[in-house]
Amino acid sequence: MKQNRRRECLSDSIPDSLGIDAKSLMGRDPPQNLLPSKHDLPRLVLVLALASLVAWTCNLLFTSLLHPPSKPFCDTNFDSPDYSPDVCEPCPSNGECNDGKLECLQGYQRHGNLCLEDGDISESARKIVERVEHHLCEGYAQFLCSGTGPIWVREDVLWNYFEPVENVKVDNALHNYTKQRAVETMEKLLETRLNNSHGMKEFKCPDLQAVHYKPYTCCIRQWISQHILVVLPICAMLVGCTALFWSVQRKLSMSRRVEELYDKVCEILEENALTSKNANGECEPWFVASRLRDHLLLPRERKNPLLWRKVEELVQEDSRIDCYPKLVKGESKVVWEWQVEGSLSVSKMKRRRDASKTRVNESMDLNHQQHSEVKTEPVEPLF
């Protein structure tokens, strides 16, 4: 109960105090320094004018630098003699301007005050041109090599290669414009003509460009046919030189082999004669030529009768060897016999001379070593 009474007393006392304060404030006069004096008023006006001027200047600089005022575009068919660049902006290429507004042509996009080509359309048109060029040049190169293949191809046949590529969507207007750009590029790169019977354009790969699509075998064959008068003598000369070199090489190898066989025949006959002399007639001093041939020749050399014939000629010209027929086991055979007593063949003499030189060198080395050992022996003192 006491708390409620206190609350009522406080609530009654608050409005009375507020009313007294409000009455006292309304009854008072405003302070004298609230408004500027007559002497400070020009200064206040000057400060406000300078602040407004600074704000307007900053706004003007900001808008002129970052957002310059754009002039309207001149109309596309605007050809006035009083044209001035201060009046309107000239309409850029690949664009149409009407009522001061710019609209880029199809296939171009606006970038500022310019109309630039759409990259996706250009890339798609380029790929279409490459595909068609590859098809035409391969066919023409095949015709140049084998006589079969397309040369001139109509435009309607090439429509199969005009397919949307990558980012270009299958849209009629956009697709047709891409094909139009591809055809314009093809007219610059390829040869064109008008087919009177069908009334359509025909395209052909240029001759200089078709050369790069020919296979290497075709290029070599055509080059040989074009330079046949030069190639034939050169080939004949090469074949002749090769045959001559082979013949000379073969003769040299045969000559070396004949001399080798002849030396072996002399060694065998000489050793056989010495063996027969030392054996007191138990061994025959002669040797059958055919057996000697089969003993010395390799199996593949026996197929060449000229090789042994050359050896026989050397043997017959040698005065140390006697050739005569003899009955051997009831058959007539040609035998060879060494007739010079105590003589040595050239090869054996050479081997003995080399062996003697080797022995002399070994004995000299041994004497030199012994002489050096004698010099290096220590001498004992005599005290």
Q: List the CATH number of the domain containing 335.
A: 1.10.10
Average the pLDDT over 168-187 and give the result: 72
Domain holding 192, by residue range, is 119-214
Is residue 358 very low, low, confident or very high in pLDDT (cuts 50, 70, 90)?
Answer: low
Q: Classify residue 53: in a domain, yes or no.
A: no
Same domain, 338 and 238: yes
Q: Which of 42-56, 221-235, 238-252, 343-357 has the lowest mean pLDDT?
A: 343-357
- Mean of pLDDT over the chain: 75
pLDDT at position 251 over 80: yes
On whether the CB atoms of residues 155 and 115 are closer than 8 A, the answer is no
Same domain, 88 and 155: no
157-166 confidence digits (pLDDT tens): 777 655 544 4
- Residue 208: its pLDDT value, please? 87
Q: 359 or 182: whose pLDDT is higher?
A: 182
The answer to whether the pTM exceeds 0.75 is: no
Same domain, 197 and 282: no
Same domain, 199 and 136: yes
Instruction: Count the Cβ atoms, other than its own, within 10 Å of residue 293.
Output: 17
Same domain, 200 and 236: no
Same domain, 75 and 148: no
Calculate what percentage of the chain has a pLDDT beyond 90.
10
Is residue 256 very low, low, confident or very high in pLDDT (cuts 50, 70, 90)?
Answer: very high
Q: Classify residue 378: in a domain, yes or no.
A: no
Q: Which residues of 13-47 are buried (b: 16+ CB within 10 A; e: fewer)?
A: eeeeeeeeeeeeeeeeeeeeeeeeeeeeeeeeeee
Same domain, 146 and 246: no
Is residue 243 very low, low, confident or very high in pLDDT (cuts 50, 70, 90)?
Answer: very high
359-369 confidence digits (pLDDT tens): 556 555 655 55
Q: Label residue 288 exposed, middle or buried (CB < 10 Å: 0-12, 13-18, 19+).
A: middle
Q: Looking at the 3D structure of the chain, how many domains does it have?
A: 3
Cα 89 to Cα 102: distance, rounded to the nearest angstrom: 10
- Residue 263: its pLDDT value, please? 92
pLDDT at position 97 over 80: yes
pLDDT at position 239 over 90: yes
Is residue 246 very low, low, confident or very high in pLDDT (cuts 50, 70, 90)?
Answer: very high
Average the pLDDT over 296-313 and give the result: 90
Same domain, 198 and 159: yes
Same domain, 232 and 312: yes
- Residue 253: its pLDDT value, please? 92
- Residue 376: its pLDDT value, please? 47
Q: Classify residue 76: in a domain, yes or no.
A: yes
Average the pLDDT over 60-83 and give the result: 64
On whether the CB atoms of residues 101 and 91 are closer than 8 A, the answer is no
